[in-house]
Structure 1
Amino acid sequence: MFSLLSIFDSRPVQPVASKASILMKGSAEQVFRYLGDDFFENYPKWSPEVKELKQIGDQPMGPGVTARQVRIDGGHRSESKFRITLYEPNRSLAFAGISEPFHCMYEIQDEGREGLVKLIFTFELLEMKIFMRPFERLIRIAVQHGAERTVRNIKNLIEIDADTAN
């Protein structure tokens, strides 16, 4: 239920955080190549809300690389810039918002069983705008569903690529 008190509540809001994981066929190298090395080609595939994605500058992929994205989420268009903050081949990739307060991390874990890896995706919205506070519960649910959809999309895309390559 909408409450005016929630708009004027001066208490700090906890970050909106979500985490999802999935097992998939493939190697850590294959998954990281798709996520990290080919990030600018593949990110809009696993996150179809991304309508435009452009690297700012021409440095090789790694920490410090910046990008601009245009997204359409639920009919709402937004533009943001972000920076790659972590780039550990075959292990992890992370980026953080420059113009918006968010953080994304993709971790790859070898499951110790040949041909299986675990992908863990974490998303954090570090700050909630005041007009969003009455909808915090719905936002948390939507962000969790988005995280689960993200790992499913990545799994499907990587496994389809592997099947067509064989």
Structure 2
Amino acid sequence: MVKAQTRTLIKRPLEQVFRFVVEDFVTNYPRWSPEVKSLRVLTRGPLQVGWTGHQVRVDQGRRTESDFRVIALEPGRQVTFRGVNDPYRIDYQFEPRDQHTELHFSFEMGKLSLPLRPFEKLIRLAVQEGTERTVRNLKGLVEAEIEPPSPSAA
């Protein structure tokens, strides 16, 4: 199993960060994860447990397609996705920190197939770099597009 995680402090209130990531997921996900070349909604309506989507990604020149499902959603706290046919899990957790949000992000791949096992160390490095890039991109977008709270609101 390959797992990577990272966290960052986003200098915006939790409600706004959660809205950007979860409520506006379909619009914003390809923006913070530019490896996503196509995102198609398979379940109508807002993200909720059971919601499914289909993505086409190009990671380091390798094109993949996968369906994924929301397996956990706790408003204001967490959303978790799992690959339907591919063994991966992605988790976003949100914690309030004064007028800011601490975002915890983790990505977990299932057991590597036999042909990939000799490359496990390289895969681990690539997954960790991708995890850090995802969080960096998300933080940059949120802080650039959402106005900070006024000092009087603190």
Asked if these proteins are the same fold (TM beyond 0.5), I'd say yes
Equivalent residue letter for 1:36: V
Equivalent residue letter for 1:154: L
The one of 133, 140, 151 aligned to 2:135: 151
Paired residues of 1:71 and 1:78 also in contact (CA < 8 A): yes
Q: Residue 20 of structure 1 aligns to a residue in which SS? A: strand
Equivalent residue letter for 1:55: V
The one of 92, 95, 117 aligned to 2:81: 95
Q: Residue 133 of structure 2 aligns to a residue in which SS? A: helix
* Mapping for residues 1-166 of structure 1, pairs under 5 Å: 15-111=1-97, 113=98, 115-163=99-147
Structure 2: runs of 5 or more not aligned: none
Number of equivalences? 149
Q: Residue 108 of structure 1 aligns to a residue in which SS? A: strand
Q: Structure 1, residues 14-63: CA drift from partner, whole Å, max 9, x if none?
A: x1000100011111110110110011111100100000001103143201
Paired residues of 2:37 and 2:56 also in contact (CA < 8 A): yes
Equivalent residue letter for 1:82: F
Paired residues of 1:22 and 1:118 also in contact (CA < 8 A): yes
TM-score normalised over the length of structure 2 = 0.92
Q: Distance in 2 between matches of 1:43 and 1:137?
A: 27
Equivalent residue letter for 2:47: M
Q: Residue 157 of structure 1 aligns to a residue in which SS? A: helix
The CA RMSD measured in Å over matched residues stands at 1.4
Identical amino acids, percent of aligned pairs: 43
Q: Structure 1, residues 52-101: CA drift from partner, whole Å, max 9, x if none?
A: 00110314320100110000011111000000111111111110000110
Q: Structure 1, residues 88-144: CA drift from partner, whole Å, max 9, x if none?
A: 111111100001100000000112x2x211000010001212211110001001111
Q: Please identify, of 50-59 and 68-77, the stretch whose mean Cα deviation from structure 2 is larger.
A: 50-59
Q: Distance in 1 between matches of 2:45 and 2:4?
A: 30
